[in-house]
Structure 1
Amino acid sequence: MIRHRHIDRICAAAILLALILTGLLCFGEVLGLRPASAAPGYASRLFDDDRVHTVDLRVEDWAAFLENAPAEEYIPCTAVIDGEEFYQVGLRAKGNNSLRLTEEYGLSRYSLKLEFDHYVDGGNYHGLDKLSLDASFQDNSYLKTYLAYHMMAYMEAPAPLCSYAWVTVNGAPWGLFLAIEEPEEAFARRNFGPDHGALYKPDYHSLNAENADVALWYTGDDPALYPNIFDNAKFSTDGADRERLIQALRVLSTGEDLETAINVDEVLRYFTVQVFVMNWDSYLGHTGHNYFLYEEDGVISILPWDYNLAFGTYALGMTDPIRDPDVLINWPINTPARGETMLKRPLYHNLMKNNDYFARYHAYFDHLLTEYFESGRYEAVIRQTQAMIAPYVQADPTAFCSYEDHLLAVDTLLEVCRLRSESVRGQLEGDYPATLAQWAERPVFGVDASHVDLRALGDFDDLEAARERQDEAAAVVE
């Protein structure tokens, strides 16, 4: 028998401790503790970005898959990730402009999607339902998308996890890809908890249409007016879900009481990075797409997606491209789109008409410049990552460029980041124009970027030269 003169107190203390621990387990998220769903198993496995992972795709007929890739239809495959086998995984090509151009140029290096629950109900990779393998199309540095997501995460904007993967097909080398967590169920649980809200990927059916819903315009209360949003819901939605989102768009259209319908702080952090990286294949561009829309309890926010044409290289997707690096790298942060586009982007335009939000937007730019760029953090991220992937880029049998061109692209990206940060700093301090209207008033409008050739980051000439290399790699796959 236990004998102790303080046994009653010890027992009482033990009971109290047990109650406290139980409370933390039940209410830890309310108290600010990170829930288990925020750190799923896949985050520390495939998305450990301190090393290059391996993904072997075992496909019955790879030649047939490549021939039918533009149709974006799933086929079953076995995916072996870091030596671990996953059976009956859905595999298809992905992309929009990149997929079209890959086919048009007779190439075979498509970006890919792996969907673990496509054929097997509940199938997953340590909790992950879907991932992408990004081909770094028109990105000779292999770094544009990785760096943009790194910046988003640094600014605490919910961003997909990503890491590099050496991809083989039936054991034969296929190339270095960027593995990216697809924003679906697992992404929502990780970022917003098990009781997360609704997630959409607004996209146009035709560029010739108005696409007001993709631009997040309120056009009425009928859900049928928003097909480009609701037809692209990632989860099942009901009438209440649609009503909440439409109500948020109505509030946004008024420009008043925006914090009742918009996660203002998160949206401002998103736009800080979005504008810095000069990505016009986005909400702020002509197409207005390439973003995810999240809604919870009637409050919406915008989430990042697709950065292969960032850092001033969207000219590659324009019929009348702007290629002048002085113009692109000094692009104004206060009017990051031309007037006819800006007025049609209420999630940016209506927020920036509020003086408090506008000042907060500038404060976030100051933080990004001070802590990420002027501190040298960006250079460390680029150089350390490039050193890690260098042997794989050098051996990449389907690369869009030579290894020498890759090195040139990395140096170019470093210079673009350095000059862009100097330009933005000058805009914040009033030394350089921060609006398109101010540009017209000043003959010299920013940093001298005339020595930068943005084509080094990836251009059509690279696509012309890559076909033979990719054909040879495809011929080796059995």
Structure 2
Amino acid sequence: MIKWTLCLATILCFGIAAHSSAKELTLDDIFPTDRVIDVQITVSQRDWDTIRYQSRDFATALGASRQFKPMENPYTYVEASVSIDGVVFPKVGLRKKGFIGSQSHTRPSLKVKLNHIDKKSGIEGLTNLTLNNNKQDTSLVSQFMGYALFNAIGSPAPRCAYAKVTVNGENLGIYSHVETVRKPLLKRAFRNSKGALYEGTVVDFYENWENSFEHKRGDEARGRAQINALIDLLADSKATETDIGALVDLESFYRFWATEGLVGFWDGYSGNKNNFFVYLNPDDDKFYFIPWGMDSIFTKMSKLEFMNDRRAPISVKTQGLIAYKLYQFENGRRRYAEALTEILDNHWDVPELLTALDKIAVMVEPHLVPAQRTIEEEWEGGRGAWQGFDKPTFASELDKVRDFIRNRKSDIQAEIADGMPVWRKRPDPPFVIPEDGDFSKMFLKFIENTLAGAARDGDLEAIKQHIAEGADVNALHFEMPPLTWAAMMGQTDAAELLLQQGADINGRNRDGNTALHLAAFLGRAETAELLLKNGADVNARNDDAGTPVDILGTPWEMTRLLSGPMGIKLKQKQVESGKAKIREMFSTDAKIGDQTSPKVQNNSTDLWTAARTGDLQAIKRYIEEGGNINALDKGFQVSAMSWSALYGQTEVVQLLIENGVDVNIKNGDGATPLHSAAFLGRVDVAKFLLDNGANIKARNDDGATPADVLSVNWETTAFVGSLIGLDIKKEEGTVMNGRNEIAKLFGIDGVPNEAGTFSAQRLSEAAFTGDLTTMKQALTQGADVNTMDPQSGSTFLATAALMGHTKVVSVLLEHGADVNARSRDGATPLHTAAFLGRAETVKLLLEKGADISLRNNTGGTALDGAKLDWLITKGILGMLRLEVDEAEVKAGRAEVIKLISQHNRK
């Protein structure tokens, strides 16, 4: 009987005597493998609410400053009492724990500090208990079985048991009770506990990262010096396996590493530079690794999609720098294979493992809470909800583990039959979010030390080195292959080198764009010429059906806006000059349009450009060649009629109408040419359209008529104008005068009538500002209380709720507003109120029947909005142009979370 099976199955099969009721507990008492221990926590409700709503801020947790010191712990201890299988510890410290993936306010992971008040309290030297909520471990077996395997093979690891946790009498379900890495574990594993111990959380042994490791105990000066020595060694390209072995116990590390690879621990040291401890053993002055946070194993791929490379081996993970360095040595691969094979042969007994799974299921099933029986959150937060998949259950998650166990050995043996596969892709440096919130810096940093990064920078020597080391010239890195990175940045020499090395000229990004699309988008003329000479497909379509030809028509402001997040600095004249050259190349390329009619395809973009510029001759040629004058452009989904209306090209409108265009043709957003003319006050165009049958009552996708768009404020008008290539900042008077004239054409005399077309705008403004008098007046005069604002797409109730105008919300509800009415983005008033922590408004909405289960278009509930990371919140507020008091919003959100949670329990 193998050791791991003994840890899991033998005791499960034969059992042990019932736990004694003696007051002195032992470690064996609290880490049984055949039963669930009972943990009952009593804490004041106020303190419980305080700690369970505490949370890590994503930007702080992964901020740039953590490179120089460990991240601050946001959790605080409160006084509580705990009973473990009837043995009471009357005064302990209780706090929440967890990084990001395990965050929960209903079933939080917990730390119990037995000696928080009574300094002598503990269990055989263990003073801290770790209770993990298994939020990511939906099968509930990752930690229990994972740590057992490490211990069975002799790799230092915590013990793990199951605990039924109740707080103030409320059953929170099954938790994994994991042994905290403290003296008892160290003494058991190393027969000493005086060495320096450090915890690693998304950190690694990179230059200037020595202070990111969190010191837990032992000689800090000695430990930090050894960390620095290891960092310097790993930075040396001439360092050998023997050199690394002088600082890291390699026998132990290979077994630790191979076990992580075997169980698919994607979030451990070798998989993600995360969830590990390193112990500097004073007996030999070498580092030993200890696994931690094993709540997501038994999976082939990372749950962080951007980290997955489908070409990577499944038998080994090399994201950890030590693992990567060792794997580049032939002897390193050999030793890894030996360790992996030995573990497979002696500790991976499939029938025994499956039997152990069955017994675990029987043991924990009676104690599961509904959230553990059916995993709603994973289904709704992933793709299942919109792809029609069944909701995952505890049973179905266990089946996934069974499949993994059955197939793992054969999958690995097939891959390593001829030796470990060579894999030279360098790991990325640790993940950081810039302190200034500039995500472009983070985005660009991700591809440092990669082939894509070298292509982006035009570093030819680095490109050659990466390829020599085995980098895949066509591998996607952050959604794009290296050739596209080079094309985007105009690195023509790099692009040429990549093509010589076998780069796919028409390789696609995740969004379907090719290198030629990106070169055209940013006006990289020299690179575009190279791509065309090497056979780039000018008719290739991206996921929006746009070709490189179509991309050329993107206006400058939109180009600048979209390129900003990628950290690209552009000059308008340079981009537009480059696009002109590329357009010339396309016009002489005989291959354009091979898929349909060459002349029509070649001129399809020219139709919309000609509509904007008023080029009547080009439009006539297009019509003569049989072009479809009702076609929408691929970039904006706008018709030639609407483009000409926006630009005030009356003669173009007349020509198109004479040739049978649909005068009420709708753009992708449902707007008609009359909407476009009204928006920018194009009086002559509007008059001509009306004379030729334009529908004044047509509504766009937001429900707005042409009359409604007359009231869009100037700031928004100017911004939209810039996005479509119109600089109208100094034309406010002209546009507004034009709108007044068009209002007269519509029969409304340029002013909002009391109960007609303009009541929607007035109502929206009153909802936003909290103008109760205007609101009551508008409603009295017949305004539709459930109409959406044509500009924002929000219901008036949602707008008032967002701004926390509770009295306005009350009046709207009294006049029949639907408390669960959805805005364009699917949000209800409860969503918007919760988002900015409007507790008083949330309370009223709940009293009036607001449905807390409703989800917006992205799948989020109102509760999700109240828990949204502050950095993301700031970005949304910036787009909404709202200024709020951060402390006030956060305090309000905490109250909102309590209100919704209490409502959910009713």
Normalising by structure 2, we get a TM-score of 0.38
The aligned residue for residue 175 of structure 1 is 173
Report the equivalent of 1:162: 160
Tell me the residue number matched to 1:360: 335
Amino acid at match of 2:219: T
Find out whether 1:274 has 2:260 as its counterpart.
yes
Aligned to 2:407: 419
Cα distance in 1, alignment partners of residues 41 and 137 from structure 2:
23
**Alpha-carbon separation, structure 2, partners of 1:87 and 1:463:** 40
SS of corresponding position for 2:137:
coil
Report if the CA contact (8 A) 2:267-2:302 is conserved: no
Q: What is the CA–CA distance in structure 2 between the aligned matches of 1:314 and 1:375, rounded to whole Å? A: 21
Secondary structure of 1:123's aligned partner: coil
The residue that corresponds to 1:188 in the other structure is: 186
Q: Are 2:380 and 1:391 equivalent residues in the alignment?
A: no
Structure 1 or 2: larger strand share?
Answer: 1
The answer to whether structure 1 residue 309 and structure 2 residue 296 are counterparts is yes
Identify the match of residue 430 of structure 1 among 418, 423, 431.
418
Give the match's secondary structure for 1:145.
helix
- Once residues 33 and 423 of structure 2 are traced to their aligned partners in structure 1, the CA distance between those partners, rounded to angstroms, is 37
- Shift of the alpha carbon at 1:434? 6.5
Instruction: Give 3-state SS (helix, strand or coil) of 1:97's partner.
Output: coil
In 1: Cα distance, 2:148 partner to 2:134 partner: 16
Shift of 1:321: 7.0
User: Hey, what does 1:239 align to over in structure 2?
Assistant: 221
Deviation of 1:120 after TM superposition, in Å, equals 2.9
Residue 419 to residue 378, structure 1, CA distance change in 2 (3 Å): same
CA–CA distance in 1 between the matches of 2:31 and 2:365? Answer: 19
Q: Give distance in 2, aligned partners of 1:153 and 1:53.
A: 21
**Counterpart residue identity of residue 367, structure 1:** E
Q: CA deviation at 1:431?
A: 9.3
Quote the offset at 1:249 in angstroms: 4.3
User: Corresponding residue for 1:295?
Assistant: 280
1:74-113 deviations in Å (ceiling 9; x for gaps): 111111001001122111111111245x3xxxx5111111
What is the rounded CA distance, in whole Å, between the counterparts of 2:123 and 2:244 in structure 1? 39
Contact 1:198 1:235 in 2 (8 A): yes
Cα distance in 2 for partners of 1:307, 1:388 equals 20
Three-state SS of the structure 2 residue aligned to 1:358 is: helix
Q: Distance in 2 between matches of 1:64 and 1:179?
A: 23
Q: Deviations over 1:374-405 (max 9, x none)?
A: 45332233222222112222xx2553736971
Q: Distance in 2 between matches of 1:462 and 1:155?
A: 43
Question: Secondary structure of 2:296's partner?
Answer: coil
Shift of 1:309: 2.7
Secondary structure of 1:91's match?
Answer: strand
Listed as ranges, the gaps of 5+ residues in structure 2 are: 1-23, 57-73, 376-390, 426-469, 474-857, 865-896
Q: Distance in 2 between matches of 1:82 and 1:429?
A: 49
Residue 147 of structure 2 aligns to a residue whose secondary structure is helix
Amino acid in structure 2 at the alignment position of 1:67: Y
What is the DSSP-based 3-state SS (H/G/I as helix, E as strand, rest coil) of the residue aligned with 1:126?
A: coil
In the alignment, is residue 332 of structure 1 matched against residue 314 of structure 2? yes
Deviation at 1:271, TM superposition (A): 0.7
Aligned partner of 2:206 in structure 1 is: 217
SS in 2 for 1:166: strand
Amino acid at match of 1:177: Y
Q: What secondary structure, in the 3-state scheme, does the structure 2 residue paired with 1:90 have?
A: strand
**Residue-by-residue CA offset, 1:122-150 (whole Å, 9 max, x unaligned):** 33133212121111113221112222212
Show the counterpart of 1:73.
Answer: 76
Report 1 or 2 for greater relative contact order, CA contacts < 8 Å, sequence distance ≥ 6: 1
CA distance in 2, matches of 1:349, 1:195: 29
Distance 1:196 1:90 in 2: 25
SS state at 2:216 partner? coil
| Native 8 Å contact 2:125 2:183 kept in 1 | no
Q: Please give the secondary structure, in 1, of the residue aligned with 2:33.
A: coil
Change (3 A) 1:265 1:41: farther
1:210-243 CA distance string (max 9 Å, x none)? xxxx321356xxxxx62112xx111153433432
Q: Which of 123, 135, 138 pairs up with 1:137? A: 135
Distance 1:431 1:125, change over 3 A: closer
Instruction: Note if contact 2:158-2:180 (Cα within 8 Å) is conserved in structure 1.
Output: yes
> Structure 1 residues 471 and 401 mapped into 2: Cα distance closer, same or farther (>3 Å)?
farther
Q: What displacement does 1:371 show? A: 2.4
- Structure 2 counterpart of 1:227, from 187, 211, 227: 211
Where do residues 90-101 of structure 1 align in structure 2 (5 Å cutoff)? Answer: 90-100=93-103
How far, CA to CA, are the matches of 2:373 and 2:902 in structure 1?
13
CA apart distance, 1:475: 5.0
- Asked if 1 retains the 8 angstrom alpha-carbon contact of 2:164 and 2:175, the reply is yes
1:90–1:116: 8 Å Cα contact kept in structure 2? yes
C-alpha displacement of 1:50: 1.4
Q: Which residue of 2 aligns with 1:350?
A: 325
SS of 1:376's equivalent in the other structure is helix
Q: Are the aligned partners of 2:54 and 2:96 in contact in 1 as well (CA < 8 Å)? A: no
The CA RMSD measured in Å over matched residues stands at: 3.6
Distance 1:354 1:473, change over 3 A: farther
Q: Which runs of 5+ in 1 are unaligned?
A: 1-39, 205-213, 220-224, 442-460
One-letter amino acid of the structure 2 residue matched with residue 381 of structure 1: A
Report the equivalent of 1:33.
none
Distance, in Å, in 1 between the alignment partners of 2:137 and 2:326 is: 32
Q: Are residues 440 and 416 of structure 1, via their aligned partners in 2, closer, same or farther at CA, if it must alter by over 3 Å?
A: farther
Match of 1:261 in 2: 247
Corresponding residue number in structure 2 for 1:6 = none
Spell out, residue by residue over 1:345-389, the C-alpha distance to the aligned partner (whole angstroms, 9 max, x if none). 431123234444432221221122222334533223322222211
Instruction: Say whether the 8 Å CA contact 1:93–1:113 is kept in structure 2.
Output: yes
Asked if the contact 1:202–1:292 (Cα under 8 Å) also holds between the matched residues in 2, the reply is: yes
SS of structure 1 residue aligned to 2:135? coil
Change in Cα spacing, 1:259 to 1:317, as seen in structure 2 (3 Å) is closer
Provide the secondary structure at the position in 2 that maps to 1:284: helix
Separation of aligned partners in 2, 1:257 and 1:473? 61
4+ runs deviating over 6 angstroms: 436-441, 461-464
- Answer yes or no: is the 8 Å Cα contact 1:173–1:473 preserved in 2: no
The alignment covers a number of residue pairs equal to 381
Could you say if the C-alpha distance between residues 285 and 357 of structure 1 is closer, same or farther in structure 2, counting changes exceeding 3 Å? Answer: closer
In structure 2, the partner of 1:452 is none
- The answer on whether the counterparts of 2:97 and 2:111 sit within 8 Å (CA) in structure 1 is yes
Secondary structure of the residue aligned to 2:217 is coil
Task: State the partner residue of 1:118.
Answer: 116
Deviations 1:142-161 (A, max 9, x none): 11222221221122111111
Change (3 A) 1:435 1:259: closer
> SS of the counterpart of 1:72?
coil
- Say which one has the larger Rg: 2
1:258-296 per-residue CA deviation (whole Å, 9 max, x = no partner) reads 33221111111111111122223232345x221111112
- Cα separation, 1, equivalents of 2:905 and 2:263: 38
Map of 1:88 onto structure 2? 91
Matches of 1:296 and 1:433, distance apart in 2: 32
Q: CA deviation at 1:332?
A: 3.2
In structure 2, relative to structure 1, the CA distance for the partners of 1:269 and 1:433 (3 Å cut) is closer
Would you say the 8 A contact 2:196–2:216 is kept in 1? yes
Partner SS for 2:269: coil
Q: Equivalents in 2 of 1:41, 1:246: separation in Å?
A: 41
Partners in 2 of 1:352 and 1:404 — Cα distance? 37
Output the CA distance in 1 between the equivalents of 2:411 and 2:200. 32
Q: Does 1:284 align with 2:276?
A: no
Amino acid in structure 1 at the alignment position of 2:38: T
Q: Determine the C-alpha separation between the residues in 2 that align with 1:374 and 1:355.
A: 29
TM-superposition CA deviations, 1:380-436 (whole Å, max 9, x none): 33222222112222xx25537369710111011110222222111112213996648
Distance 1:474 1:80 in 2: 28
